[in-house]
Structure 1
Amino acid sequence: MRIKSVVRGSVVGMIKGLKRYRFLIWQLVTRDIKVKYRRSFLGVAWSVLNPLLSMAVISVVFSQFFRFDLPYYPIYLITGQTIFSFFSEATNLAMFSIRENAALIRKVSMPAYIFPISRVMSSLVNLGFSFMAILLVALFMGFSFTSAILFAPIAAAYMLVFAMGVGLILAALSVYFRDIVHLYGVLLTLIIYLTPVFYPYSLIPEKFRFLINVNPLTYFVAAFRSSLYDGIVPGPQINLMCVAFSLSSLLVGLLLFSRLRRNFSLYL
């Protein structure tokens, strides 16, 4: 019963905090985007060009050397790469958010979780630009989307909530354990190869599929790609797994962050 009340209190408290400080969050998101593209000749255009250029390089390599028998392989690739890159960027930015805003956290009374959440929201804006890259590739290749594309924002919302939870965990842990920055980089490298981003799920031998199945990102990529590349709304199993992983991640993130937040001032 006590755990249930703590969970309810954490969730309700976060919702109230996000509502109260929504203007500040917007200002932080705007600042992050401006800083990212400051002194850049092409500016926000890089949010579209980056996935396009990466897709072009990877598509050539994999189509020439691995010969995946997939129609419109660049579309298959960029849909998986886009949603995975969003997760990678969002969680990495969130991980540094507390330490980078240490002075503000010490001086001003406000919920510290605002900072990792704002970083995840900044990445969501970049995801919107990257979605334009998908549309451009589809237009160039003559690929037609179905009405299932309307489900793509829901699939992105699943990943958004999941990334918020992971971001809160990483942000809190990085205050105490600085080495987690390097460990997480290695972990992401491993995860991308355990997620069907570059290759189809059917290519994995049966005896190794459990490694793919226990990976949460497998389901988020599948949901996003299904609505765009496959042209169908994801089935109940994928939706259920996405909801379960998203909510679990957010709850664990909130509880861990709330617990570790008490001693931030001793380490910042």
Structure 2
Amino acid sequence: MSKYIQNFNKFRPLLKELIMRDIKTKYRKSILGVFWTILNPLFMMVVLSIVFSNMFKFDVEYFPVYLLSGQLIFNFFNEATTNAMGAIVMNGPLIKKIYVPKYMFVLSRIFSSSINLLASFTAMIFVMLAMRVELHYTVLLAPIPLLFIVFFSLGVGLILSAITVKFRDIMHLYSVFVTALMYLTPVIYPMSILPEWLKKIVLLNPLTNILTMFRNVMINNMLPSISSILLAAVEVAVVMVLGLYVFYKRQDTFILDI
């Protein structure tokens, strides 16, 4: 274990450079630059809240905040895993030239997306203040579900990045999968409108538990239950172990398939 820690510390400056490169690349030639990390979720919240509040008449107090909280969690997962999926393929020329721990490229994509997550979280706080939604002390526990979604995304990102090197079709199929997953995650709708059989399916989605936990501490003034924390911890641990296994099992063949 100490060998891996020393290796990570050795390449930590490179990780910082990769993160900065990812951020600069995303906002290259953009006038507003990183401000889009705050403006994007705000604009999407306004559009979707107008559409769904009037079309479906969801009986949800402070629906824009409810919607924004769902977008914050799901959009991060989508962005982080999509970016991580191409981390190895896109950095193929560098991997062929010098030795770099290959997981660094996946980490940089997840961490750069985490910066966007923090910006979106800041935007949500501003919206809550603007709408005079009471900020309870439970907001201080928001890092718990946020850390769960970051590490869950990292585990999924490791799996996707390793498999995509061999099977590039996954990059096209994943967008279809994420679209389906969004409808199986209570981002837009409340769980109360679902029939029992569909509710059971949605509850099997790991994102549902993390999202519900986040909404409880941010909006509902509820402490996360021990069962929800344990469930999220087990799900994250399983995905992380599986991600590390798949990644390290395949990393030696990356250079042959890039």
For normalisation by structure 1, the TM-score amounts to: 0.93
User: Percent identity among equivalent residues?
Assistant: 42
* 1:94–1:168 Cα contact (<8 Å) kept: yes
Residue 189 of structure 2 corresponds to 199
1:207-218 correspondence to structure 2 within 5 Å: 207-218=197-208
Q: CA deviation at 1:20?
A: 3.0
Q: Which runs of 5+ in 1 are unaligned?
A: 1-8
Deviation track 1:59-111 (CA, whole Å, cap 9, x = no partner) reads 01110010110110111110111111111100000001101100111121121
Q: 1:55 to 1:14 in 2, by over 3 A?
A: farther
- 1:247 is aligned to 237
Q: Distance in 1 between matches of 2:58 and 2:218?
A: 19
Amino acid at match of 1:159: I
Which of 217, 223, 242 is the equivalent residue of 2:213?
Answer: 223
Task: Return the match for 2:79 from 89, 96, 99.
Answer: 89
Match of 1:105 in 2: 95
Provide the secondary structure at the position in 1 that maps to 2:247.
helix
Q: Are 2:128 and 1:138 aligned?
A: yes
Distance in 2, matches of 1:14 and 1:219, equals 32
Cα distance in 2 between the residues matched to 1:210 and 1:106: 47
Letter of the 1:118 partner, please give it: S
- String of CA shifts for 1:24-78, please: whole Å, max 9, x gaps: 1111111111111111111111000000000111101110010110110111110
Deviates more, 1:221-230 or 1:188-197: 221-230
Q: Measured at CA, do residues 157 and 35 of structure 1 come closer, stay the same or move farther in structure 2, by a change above 3 Å?
A: same
Give the whole-Å Cα distance in 2 for the aligned partners of 1:103 and 1:94: 17
In 1, Cα distance between equivalents of 2:122 and 2:113: 15
**5+ long unaligned stretches in structure 2:** none
SS at match of 1:103: helix
Q: CA deviation at 1:13?
A: 6.3
State the shift of 1:232 in Å. Answer: 1.7
Structure 1 13/170 Cα, relative in aligned 2: closer, same or farther at 3 Å? farther
What do residues 204-229 of structure 1 show as CA deviations (whole Å, max 9, x unaligned)?
11122221111111111112111111
- 1:183 equivalent in structure 2: 173
Once the two structures are TM-superposed, the CA of residue 19 in structure 1 deviates from its matched residue by 3.1
Aligned in 2, Cα 1:161/1:190: closer, same or farther, shift over 3 Å?
A: same
Note closer, same or farther for the CA distance 1:73–1:22 as it changes in structure 2 (3 Å cut).
same
SS of aligned partner of 1:263: helix
Q: Which residue of the partner structure matches residue 154 of structure 1?
A: 144
Number of corresponding residues: 258
**CA RMSD of superposed structures (Å):** 1.3
Q: Could you say if the C-alpha distance between residues 75 and 14 of structure 1 is closer, same or farther in structure 2, counting changes exceeding 3 Å?
A: farther
